[in-house]
Chain A
Amino acid sequence: NAGVTQTPKFQVLKTGQSMTLQCAQDMNHEYMSWYRQDPGMGLRLIHYSVGAGITDQGEVPNGYNVSRSTTEDFPLRLLSAAPSQTSVYFCASSYSIGSGYEQYFGPGTRLTVT
């Protein structure tokens, strides 16, 4: 199993550009989520999905879109990049949320917006 994979590992964008961060998992997990990690702020939830075709907003959803057309993939779209979106982005998946299931994290994407 590859686990949770993310591409790209690093990305530099100019303000106003758009891009998609890719996330895929091969564990047949229903629950997938996107977090951003900023110094001193821990991980903050951007969007999540409890299954194919179902997505919902997390704590900091503004400026980001997601879709979940398959169980395996959960891309995160930045619509018009802003310097405030400079961060490290982690995708995670789990069998379910609640009931003590562990979340498995991808290696992260380090995004810089200039």
Chain B
Amino acid sequence: AQSVSQHNHHVILSEAASLELGCNYSYGGTVNLFWYVQYPGQHLQLLLKYFSGDPLVKGIKGFEAEFIKSKFSFNLRKPSVQWSDTAEYFCAVYFTGGGNKLTFGTGTQLKVEL
């Protein structure tokens, strides 16, 4: 069965530190890839997505992610985090041929300290 893995469950960073959150999936076919963010007390919102084209995608608030097909990965990056980036981050994958559904990773809780 297709699956999505986020290996970092909790990450604590100081402001201005660089961020990289890992996301891997198990599937050799065509995928659509997403990162969603959930700020404290709020609902999920889209950070960025990859559907086709340039594997380096840029999203809102200075986030970017790179799709590396050979590694089945879609890691999220930000060069310099801010306190306001404290949130839970979810990787999600649509697997072509895997049914009409999005599969989410277990999430990474990011805390940014001043």
* A pairs with B: yes
Question: Considering the chains assembled together, what is the distance between the CA atoms of A33 and B100 in angstroms?
Answer: 10
For residue B80, CB closer than 8 A to chain A, the reply is no
For residue A79, CB closer than 8 A to chain B, the reply is no
A54 — nearest CB in chain B belongs to which residue?
B100
Q: Which of A100, A102, A108 contacts B43 (CB 8 A)?
A: A108
For the complex formed, measure the closest distance between the CB of B67 and the CB atoms of chain A, giving whole angstroms: 12
For residue B71, CB closer than 8 A to chain A, the reply is no
Give how many A-B residue pairs fall within 8 Å (CB-CB).
Answer: 60
For the complex formed, measure the closest distance between the CB of A22 and the CB atoms of chain B, giving whole angstroms: 15
The number of residues on chain B lying at the interface, defined by a beta carbon within 8 Å of a beta carbon of chain A, is: 26
For the complex formed, measure the closest distance between the CB of A99 and the CB atoms of chain B, giving whole angstroms: 7
Q: What are the residues of chain B within 8 A of A43 when measuring CB–CB?
A: 44, 90, 92, 104
Q: Do A90 and B100 form a contact, CB below 8 Å, given A40-B9, A99-B51, A100-B32?
A: no
For residue A45, CB closer than 8 A to chain B, the reply is yes
Q: What are the residues of chain B within 8 A of A31 when measuring CB–CB?
A: 100
Q: Do A100 and B51 form a contact, CB below 8 Å, given A43-B90, A90-B44, A107-B43?
A: yes
Question: Considering the chains assembled together, what is the distance between the CA atoms of A107 and B43 in angstroms?
Answer: 5
Q: What are the residues of chain A within 8 A of B92 when measuring CB–CB?
A: 43
For residue B18, CB closer than 8 A to chain A, the reply is no
For the complex formed, measure the closest distance between the CB of A35 and the CB atoms of chain B, giving whole angstroms: 8
Question: Considering the chains assembled together, what is the distance between the CA atoms of A43 and B103 in angstroms?
Answer: 8
A42 contacts B90, C-beta separation under 8 Å: yes
Q: Which residues of A does B touch, CB under 8 Å?
A: 31, 33, 35, 40-45, 48, 50, 56, 58-59, 90, 92, 97-100, 102-103, 105-108
Across chains A and B, which 9 residue pairs bring their CB atoms closest together, nearest first?
A100-B51, A42-B106, A43-B104, A105-B44, A105-B43, A42-B104, A97-B100, A102-B46, A107-B43
Q: Which residues of B does A touch, CB under 8 Å?
A: 6, 9, 32, 34, 36, 42-46, 49-52, 90, 92, 94, 96, 100-107
A-B contact pairs, 7 of them (CB 8 A): A31-B100, A42-B107, A44-B104, A45-B102, A97-B94, A102-B49, A103-B46
